[in-house]
Structure 1
Amino acid sequence: MTLTLMLVFFHLQAAEVRLVDGKGRCSGRVEIYHSGQWGTVCDDDWDMNDAAVVCGQLGCGSAVGAPLGAHFGQGSEPTWLDNVNCSGSESYLSECSHRSFGVEDCNHGEDAGVFCLSAGEEIRLVNGSDLCSGRLEVYQTGYWRTVCNDVWDLNDAPVVCRQLGCGRADIAPERTYFGQGSGPIWQDDVGCSGSVCSITQCPHTGGGTHDCNHSNDAGVICSDNLDPFFLKLSIRLVNGKDRCSGRVEIYYSGQWGTVCDDSWDIKDAEVVCRQLDCGVTNQVRSSGQYGPGSGTIWLDDVACTGSERHLTECPHRGFGIHNCHHSEDAVLCSEQDRT
């Protein structure tokens, strides 16, 4: 194969991809560039393997959702790909099996979407009411590190909100609004322009240099709520007889973890059921009913009023703060489980 043909082949395999109309560049309707124009991807056969390839190609971390049915709104002509069938190991979406560019039997009510989650690999918000508010922490060289709030303002906070897929920034609170962190401090004098893609790209003191302590930890409150589809993905029930019964687990900081049953009651269960579109519940079963979980215990002393939209809005001790073990993992019983 000549060098020219090799370059053409590579170009075809590496067709550019973007995500449109989501919250941030790592969620949205999938569009692919071909023959000089952007077009959509049909959701026939669309699944998490396909979404994983898109997230990897965009440098957006891991895939956590592959919504169907134009979840992010309908695109416009053309529809470039149909019946995409990735193994999940491909580097580019156009490397995956499909019907050939432009060969499809779809309409834009079938446009495929993707949710990626990169926050657990680089940044997170801790001790807030949900995944879109809290003390800012940056993961670097094996440690979660706080950020000093010297010159921290609403130019910096929007970068964090976009990076987490949380929309616009509402407030950039200072001085341990979300409590003091521990361990190393990442940087001082962070000064973003608001247009960069990652907080680590913003100008800062460099080299971990700072003159701060944890009474200066910076925080962020993003104004947009998480997408309802993502909220359903951020909680699950495990080891039950269906998706609406089982041990409660939530997704935070890049991993699934359990909820301790201290103070767990019917009001907490009501929030979980509503978040998962599982109707109502009138029972909360005892610990161990669905077996112990593993890994991190994310929440303890959850105290919902029953009116919250999702479980992480309820009062709790703070993510990862608990005095439990996995024999105390919270469980609930949905209406499908009633006897």
Structure 2
Amino acid sequence: MMGETWLWDMRQVKVVCRELNCGNPVSESRGPLIEDGRGGVRLYSRCSGDESSIRQCNIIGRPGFCDGGYYRHVTCSESVRLVDGAGFCSGRVEVKSNQSWASVCEADFDRQDAEVVCGEFGCGAPAALQGGLYGEGEGQTWDKEFQCKGNESLLLDCDTSDRENNTCLPGNAVGLTCSEPDDVRLVGGGSRCAGGVEWYDQGEWRTVGAADWKRRDVAAVVCRQLGCGSTVSELLGNTTRGIRVSCSGFESSLRECRRSYDLHPGLTVICSDLLVQPDIFLTDPMGGVFRGHQGPEMFRGYNFTITCSTQPQYPGGSFHLTFTGSNRTQTQPAVNHSAAFLFPAADYSHQGNYRCVYDNYVFSHNFSSESELFSLTITGN
């Protein structure tokens, strides 16, 4: 048990689960300390997450007793774990068998099985599933084939069947990468990649803050977890009660960082991928476009228009239409979040690859986003 004033993170939880031979951490929460007449111990520790026992962590100061405040409630996966991955949502899949851990063969594990494991760990959807992705392990191989439907809460709730092949060739121990959980968001910035940081914790969204010297590290983790690129700026605002977070800056998600529940300045973050990807499409009022084997083809002599558009996030901005055939660029201001580039009398000089680039000056910074490449072929005599 641990008092609330100390910053606690999932690295300590990982060590506790390992010491109890209970798989990987699933969640960590707090609750009233005195419920059944027992007291608790306030333990000041720093763990790397690789220790086999909480006693091997760096104990800061002397442990003490506490008779008020909160305790830490730890939930471990118990019978399945992800080993040798990066963060808490990836690794080699292992299942507990007779109090020892066994790797799972790739042939016995599919995407529906992976969805159950990712959900069990509180992670997002499976992103990668491959044999040998995180090594082979040193123990035995699980002797069953999983047959999950995808909606089970736990992997061991799934049906199993005997394996068709009793051998699992080297390189076939299944590795799984889940996407990061959707428990962090940025609000009030007009984009999923800008705004005040909030963390879904214990059934509600809570404001996230940080000490001034830690705000860049926390912002880096937020942008990484959201898939929003790198940090452009971070700002501390009004003091409020929520979750104070302290990160090293290299974590995959906020739940790997230390946290406490107290008063702190709220954190606003702007990430580099602020603007959504623009769309590019071709319109042909004269009917000169047809679908060819390599994509759209245009008859010579016909007019055509390439239109760039984006979602209505922010007003203003401009579109640049780049053309690789001649390395030329045309520019127009964004009107109603789009711009149309007219090409009269198509000829072979118009054949090539086009791309829309949307630029806008927002939050005192220049941002840019590129569309997919659009290839056009010109045909006819």
Q: TM-score, normalised by structure 2?
A: 0.43
| TM-score, with structure 1 as normaliser | 0.47
Specify the structure having the higher radius of gyration (Cα): 2
Give the helix-richer structure, 1 or 2: 1
